[in-house]
Every structure is written in structure tokens, then in C-alpha cells.
Amino acid sequence: MTAQADAEERRHEAALRPRRLGEFIGQRRVREQLGLVLAAARARGRAADHVLLAGPPGLGKTTLAAIVAEELGVPIRITSGPAIQHAGDMAAVLTSLLEGEVLFVDEVHRLARPVEEMLYVAMEDLRVDVVIGKGAGATAIPLALPAFTLVGATTRAGLLPSPLRDRFGFTAHLDFYEPADLERIVERSAGLLGVPCAPAAGALIAARSRGTPRIANRLLRRVRDYAEVHGNGHIDTYVAEQALRLFDIDQRGLDHLDRALLRALVARFGGGPVGLSTLAVAVGEEQQTVAEVSEPYLVRAGLLERTPRGRVATAGTYEHLGLPLPSGVGRWGAGIGQAAEPLPWDTAEPGHEDAATHGLG
């Protein structure tokens, strides 16, 4: 995807995002909890407690951060963990904040250690210690900060050090969406896009969205394109089915890469176990893409197992590919009795793998 196309995609996503908490669909428990935190802050006339949003990609963490600022009636400053690698950069951001402003840090688990240590003091004591000079003559000058609300987003909460995690006054754990909520999201987005969409077509798109609103909105836009080019602009089940087939999205929401992974696992490695790096090479894809984009959904859908020895095909894998079930594969997979590895957003160490997982399987 080109930079221009990527920017266009982000622009469309932003246009479909809800602005207020009452417009946010799904995550009912999180909405109730966050609504209470924000209402209490407004009643006291003070900045809200720091908020940590944890969960898989595409579930609305960035949207909720913007909603926090909107509900509090304050500006929002947006940055990310990889963008701030030096304590001086974070000091510059913190000292430029306005009273009550929201600072949103995406991928907060990727902050450098010196930046994290500066945040400890800033979050708890509203202070930044700026060091002037070097060596024995260095002097730390404390700078007072205005009250602010840090909203951190992470797909890997296990990577956050305890001192940083404990300074968040409220932690929200976002989970994959129910089909009914995704149908409402598709209906709302179709209305914002001005595209007539039959309820059954919306349900079909929602069912193939892997429990993720971002994917639901992306698929809706592609189906809209198909309806405008090959139809009369109206989305019905036939148009939705044909469009999703054109873009290689099958009945369970699997795309070309997902199916390539499953076929390689079965055809080239006998159903596993096979290491993640080996599996990624087999399909010509980056290991991180496989681990963070395809694998989490395949595991959740029961089409793949993560075991200490490597990735293993399940009975559902063979069924989905239309292949006969070989002997030795149990009802739920070949790795019965083996502990499953955590998914990426729960991993304690980035890229952590068992030694055998990096082997040739």
C-alpha cells in the first residue's frame, strides 16, 4: 500500500469513528466503567485519572482516547512509543501540555526505559526532572507540570513494567466484538457513507470481520466500491458475497494469507508442530505479520494451536480446507494436553519463542 493510499485509508477510518461515548458501539462494560471515571472527573472539575487501554489491534483504543478528550472538553496530544525514544523528547512533550490536556501514547509498551522512568514521576507527582550538565557537575532541575491525563494504548499489556502499569488509575481490557455489535457498526458506517445496505448484507459483512470493527469498516468500503462499479450502488447479499469473494475473504473471514498459512502447515509440515519463523518463510511473509495479524484470529477460530513445540493444525483446519482428517489428530487438534502459548497482546517478552519454535519443525 502506498503512503497516499495508506493516508486515504486512515482518513476514511477517522471519518467513521464515533465522537462521544454514547455513540460507541460494543464493549459495554468498558463503556460503563470509563463513563463513570469521566463523569467523576467532570464533577470534580479536575483532570481524569490516567487510563490504560489494552487489547488486540482494531478494537477502538485510539477512538476511545479521542472520546476521553471530547467528553472532558479538552485538547488531545497524540504520539506513540516508537516515536519517543529519548527522555528529552518526552520532557518536551510533557512541558508543553495545557491544563487538563489528554496525552495519548499509542503502543505505550514500546517506550524506551529512560522515557518510562520519566513518566513515573510525571504521572504521579506532575513533575519532570531536567538534567543540566554532565558528570559530577550535573544538576537536576524540577519542572512542575499542569494536571493532565495520560491515555496509553497497548496490544501487549504483559510488556508494560509494573511501576508504569500501576500508575494508571483505570485499565480497560477490550475484547473482540460480538456479531450483533458488528452488525450495528456496519449499519452505522453505511449510513455515514451514504450507502444503502440491506440488513442481511450487513450481517454477512459483520460475520467475516473477525470480531474487529476496523476490519468491518474496511470490508464495508470495499463492498461499497464493488456495488458502485458493478451494480447500482446498493449493497445486498449477492453484491456483498461477490465483493468479498473478489477480495479473497471466505465464509469465516480468512484472507489469502490466512489460508496460505493453513495450507503450508498441513501440506508442507504434516500439520505441525512447526516453528513460527519457518512457517513465515514458507508463505513469504514477515514473522511479525504472521504473529500479530493472522495467527491470533486463527487461534481464536480454532484453526491453529500454539504449543511449546510450535504451531499445530487442528481438526477445524482440515475441515475448513476441505481435506480428510488424518489419524492422530484429535477432535480439537493434535496438541491436546500441551499448554498453549499466550497470544501476542499477552506475551511477556517481544518475539519470545521456545527454542524449538525457531527450529525447522
Residues 100 and 15 in one domain: yes
| CATH number of the domain encompassing residue 339 | 1.10.10.10
Answer yes or no: 155 catalytic: yes
Please name every residue paired with 181 in a beta bridge, in sequence order, or none if there are none.
none
- The Cα 352–Cα 343 span in angstroms is 11
Q: Supply the pLDDT for residue 305.
A: 85
Residues 124 and 94 in one domain: yes
**Residue 360 confidence class, pLDDT cut points 50, 70, 90:** very low
Percent of the chain whose predicted confidence (pLDDT) is above 90: 30
Q: Which of 63, 155, 278, 317 is catalytic?
A: 155
Answer yes or no: 106 catalytic: yes
- The Cα 188–Cα 228 span in angstroms is 19
Residues 126 and 206 in one domain: no
Average pLDDT, the chain: 81
pLDDT tens, 78-113?
988 888 888 888 888 888 888 889 999 999 888 888
Q: Which of 17, 61, 165, 208 is catalytic?
A: 61
Residues 62 and 163 in one domain: yes
- The Cα 249–Cα 247 span in angstroms is 6
Q: Supply the pLDDT for residue 357.
A: 36
Residue 1 lies in a domain: no
Q: Which of 214, 218, 221, 311 is catalytic?
A: 214
Residues 93 and 190 in one domain: no
pLDDT tens, 236-295?
999 999 999 999 888 888 888 888 888 888 888 888 788 888 888 888 888 788 887 888
Residue 251 lies in a domain: no
**Domains identified in the chain, total number:** 3
The residue range of the domain holding 106 is 10-173
Last residue of a domain, one of 140, 173, 206: 173
Residues 25 and 114 in one domain: yes
Answer yes or no: 62 catalytic: yes
Q: Supply the pLDDT for residue 153.
A: 92
Last residue of a domain, one of 114, 145, 173: 173
Q: Where does residue 351 fall: left (phi above 0), alpha (psi -120 to 50 degrees), or beta otherwise?
A: left
pLDDT tens, 137-194?
567 677 888 899 999 999 888 888 888 888 899 999 998 899 999 999 999 999 888 8
| CATH number of the domain encompassing residue 132 | 3.40.50.300
Residues 43 and 163 in one domain: yes
Q: Which of 62, 63, 171, 212 is catalytic?
A: 62
Residues 195 and 281 in one domain: no
Last residue of a domain, one of 148, 173, 198: 173
Residues 265, 313 contacting (CB under 8 angstroms):
yes
Residue 5 lies in a domain: no
Q: Which of 63, 106, 110, 218 is catalytic?
A: 106
